[in-house]
Amino acid sequence: MLTPGKQLNQHLTAVIRTFLSQPEWHPSEPLIVPASHPQFGDFQSNIALTLAKKLNQKPRDLAAQLLQNVHLEELCEPPTIAGPGFMNFTLKPTYIQSWLTQQIQDPRCGVPLVDEPETIIVDFSSPNIAKEMHVGHLRSTIIGDCLARLFEFQGHRVLRLNHVGDWGTQFGMLIAYLREAYPEFFTQNQEIDLGDLVSFYRQAKQRFDGDETFQEQARQIVVKLQAGDPELLSAWRFLCDLSRREFQQIYDLLDVQLTERGESFYNPFLPEIVQELKEKNLAVLDQGAWCVFLEGFVNTDGSPLPLIIQKSDGGYNYATTDLAALRYRVQQDGAQRIIYVTDVGQSQHFAQVFQVAKKAGWVTEKVQCIHVPFGLVLGEDGKKFRTRSGETVRLKDLLEEAIRRAEQDMQARLQAEQRQESPEFMHNLARVIGISAVKYADLSQNRLSNYSFSYDKMLALQGNTAPYLLYAYVRVQGIARKGAIDFEQFVPEFVLSTQPEFMLAKHLMQFPDGVEQLGQDLFPNRLSNYLFELSQKFNQFYDQCPILSAPDPERTSRLGLAHLTAKVLKLGLSLLGIPVVERM
């Protein structure tokens, strides 16, 4: 289904092409944008102003000439010219109505599949084994999942990769410490959770920092581990399993699917990566380390800042692994787009890795590497997000607290409304609302900004929150129950007459463009804002236009608007990773 904006654009582009003989003057799309104010109609174009300069004509005259060739009688009212030469377009009610009829029958609510599906890798979440999964990883998980859902819905082939940090010097330290302090750790089948592992990690680090013999032991272990010592490998596996189980609990709570392919997967390729970069004369030896020098990267003192790919002790690092991963993803996975979702602090790392991979020829013109950065999560005080006692917040605790508070809110509301619900209903609802609130609070922010984490704000029933959106959906289901209407069996005729109906209808029509926008700029708050506005427009319509008590044909038409709103909300929220509920 072509959205009205797209149809207008296509038509106006064609008009201009025939009107202007010089192809170099053909303007690039979009020529038409949604009107900045309802008084200018639904869409507007300033193309006459831009072209008038080139053609040395008066913009208003040019606009008039262009409009003589515009034939959009089915779509809109006769276009008008405003101010210095803006062209304004107002959609015809008959057109809006027939568009809605198509949209409501389409399970995709008007969103097309892409013409050329690509293989897209989304590298997200990616916590580190034995270290705590922190709020930064939560952001990555939520944003990455949203982008993966979007690409899947658009019809791309998507590989959701969890690039866990499962290799590195931390294991030497940890294994050395555990062997010393808890000799039975790796042999006995004991109940350990990641909380313990993280505190072990802290203790190990302390030990490491204060004792040289211990440091040496830890290093020995790393060397033996890398050489494939079977006993150490099994200890390493044991630790990875432990972390993995803990991570999985979080993914289950969040309903996020990931394929784990950790850093260790790329170990066998690291020597070739360095070798190849040497052969291509990209890697040079600098103070004992193999480095690649790149354009545009300098230290604060202006000296060139290299990307180190092999340290002077022979070890490889984070960047080497990312280069191997990138090459593998292009050559073996056939990825055409690779998206990395991490905090903004890693921007330079990815810019360097991408540049090296391009120079090495691993990333060709046909492959797009995109870093999708995000800001920090702060506490309500605007400082680093921590528990009251100053420790990093465990994600599981954070999510469980959101669920607990959602349940509390529910209980208060039920009491106020004198409603009775079963415990299962309450648990399920609290879980959906709590988790959705956390996800939505994140996705509704411009991801580049830092945001303050506030349970109260994210769980509020008013404002740009998950509960507010879910409630709009629930309202529609309430109407259906009250009127005993089966929306699935229902094909409405639309007849719009009042202002709130038109406002809602026009917003519904913009859904496909909103989804497409998100696919282009990868800012989930575009979609969440769209859905928030949709809920607001629906609520205005609901408050001002009687639905069940209206006479036909208005009744059917309004039911149709309500149903279409619910469909778009459900679909839009599903792209954010948020499920709907029938009652709340």
- In 3-state terms, what secondary structure has residue 415? helix
User: Interface with ligand ARG by CB under 6 A: which range of 126-134, 295-303, 308-316, 509-517?
Assistant: 126-134
Q: Are 147 and 339 in contact (CB under 8 A)?
A: yes
Least distance to ligand ARG, CB of residue 353, Å: 8
**123 in contact with ligand ARG (CB under 6 A):** yes
Least distance to ligand ARG, CB of residue 245, Å: 18
- In 3-state terms, what secondary structure has residue 191? coil
Cα gap 160→152, rounded to integer Å? 10
User: Interface with ligand ARG by CB under 6 A: which range of 81-89, 123-131, 406-414, 558-566?
Assistant: 123-131
Residue 101: other Cβ atoms inside 10 A: 16
**451 in contact with ligand ARG (CB under 6 A):** no
Binding to ligand ARG (CB under 6 A): which residues in 309-328? 322, 325
How many of the chain's residues bind ligand ARG (CB under 6 A)? 10
Cα gap 329→193, rounded to integer Å? 33
Least distance to ligand ARG, CB of residue 341, Å: 8
Least distance to ligand ARG, CB of residue 215, Å: 23
Pair of tokens at residue 502: 């038109």
Least distance to ligand ARG, CB of residue 560, Å: 45
Cα gap 308→321, rounded to integer Å? 11
Which position's Cβ is nearest ligand ARG?
A: 126
For ligand ARG, the closer CB: 132 or 554: 132
Least distance to ligand ARG, CB of residue 260, Å: 12
For ligand ARG, the closer CB: 354 or 541: 354
Figure out which of the listed residues 126, 141, 217, 557 binds ligand ARG, where binding follows CB under 6 A.
126
Residue 280: other Cβ atoms inside 10 A: 12
What DSSP string describes 470-535? HHHHHHHHHHHHHHT--GGG--PPP---SHHHHHHHHHHHTHHHHHHHHHHH--HHHHHHHHHHHH
User: Interface with ligand ARG by CB under 6 A: which range of 16-24, 119-127, 465-473, 498-506?
Assistant: 119-127
Figure out which of the listed residues 128, 170, 445, 465 binds ligand ARG, where binding follows CB under 6 A.
128
**Which candidate, 527, 519, 528, 443, places its Cα nearest to that of 156?**
519
Least distance to ligand ARG, CB of residue 480, Å: 44
**340 in contact with ligand ARG (CB under 6 A):** yes
For ligand ARG, the closer CB: 161 or 531: 161
Least distance to ligand ARG, CB of residue 248, Å: 17
Binding to ligand ARG (CB under 6 A): which residues in 90-109? none
Cα gap 434→578, rounded to integer Å? 11
**141 in contact with ligand ARG (CB under 6 A):** no
Which contiguous run of DSSP H or E holds residue 368? Answer: strand 368-374
Which string of x and - marks every residue 149-178 that binds ligand ARG (by CB under 6 A)? --------------x-x-------------
How far from 180 is each of 185, 202, 380, CA to CA, in Å?
10, 15, 41
In DSSP terms, 283 is beta-bridged to 292
For ligand ARG, the closer CB: 174 or 508: 174
Least distance to ligand ARG, CB of residue 86, Å: 46
Phi/psi of residue 200, each to 5°? -60, -40
Binding to ligand ARG (CB under 6 A): which residues in 373-412? none
For ligand ARG, the closer CB: 398 or 503: 398
Cα gap 561→202, rounded to integer Å? 57
Helices 395-417 and 423-443 cross at an angle (nearest 10°) of 120
Least distance to ligand ARG, CB of residue 140, Å: 7
What DSSP string describes 552-570? TTHHHHHHHHHHHHHHHHH
Positions that interact with ligand ARG (CB under 6 A): 123, 126-128, 163, 165, 322, 325, 340, 342
